[in-house]
Amino acid sequence: MRIAPISLFAAGLGLTALAADDPAPRPSPNFVVLQPGGPEIPLSQYRGKILALAFIHTTCPHCQDLTRTLTPIAREYTPKGVQFLECAFNAGAVALVPGFVAQFQPPFPVGYADDTAVRVYLGYSFIDTRPMYVPHMVFLDKKGIIRGDFPGESPFFQNPNMSIRAELDKLLQAAAAPLAAKKK
């Protein structure tokens, strides 16, 4: 029973994590994915593209499966204007990412960030003690607005292949709607 009052207090302060599968669009905060031996990847560089961003742990079997799932999806959707990106944030990610990339050979960038930066980006507060399950996927539209946020415990990951494709198709249709309206 102590959880409810604390949650209500934290919610009143705006300190709780964003609701799972929250459909409310919101601007993407600034965020940079680092690459071992490579350039930094600010999410803002992908404005004008739909972005499928996966937060992973390189050692997590579910995250490894997600990378395997994303590989053919990326090959299909990249020509349609979708950018895929993975960000590892497990302990030792800076050293583990190169081996992960060599093993899984994703056709998209994989980098890392520290746990605190990822939690801040995803809206977890410093007082939030809930575990953060991975993988965690976020979808941004062409304007950098978060349109989908799916934590690891979400039903979204019961069938990630179908869920990811459905989310991308929805974003692509929304992006094409203004163009179709202008042609009329």
Instruction: Report pLDDT digits (tens) over 54-99.
Output: 999 999 999 999 999 999 999 999 999 999 999 999 999 999 999 9
Structure tokens at 184: 């009329």
pLDDT at 184: 54
CB atoms within 10 A of CB 86: 27
> What is the domain count for the chain?
1
Tell me, yes or no, whether 12 lies in a domain.
no
Distance from C-alpha of 41 to C-alpha of 110, rounded to nearest angstrom: 10
pLDDT at 127: 85
- Could you tell me the residue range of the domain that residue 142 belongs to? 25-183
Task: Report, as ranges of residue numbers, the positions in the chain whose pLDDT lies below 70.
Answer: 1-23, 178-184
Dihedral (CA of 153, 76, 121, 12) sign: negative
Structure tokens at 106: 């994703």
Tell me, yes or no, whether 57 lies in a domain.
yes
Distance from C-alpha of 52 to C-alpha of 59, rounded to nearest angstrom: 21
Tell me, yes or no, whether 29 lies in a domain.
yes
CB atoms within 10 A of CB 165: 15
pLDDT at 3: 38
Tell me, yes or no, whether 54 lies in a domain.
yes
CATH code assigned at 131: 3.40.30.10
Tell me the pTM: 0.85
Q: Which of 26, 1, 92 is nearest to 17 (CA)?
A: 26
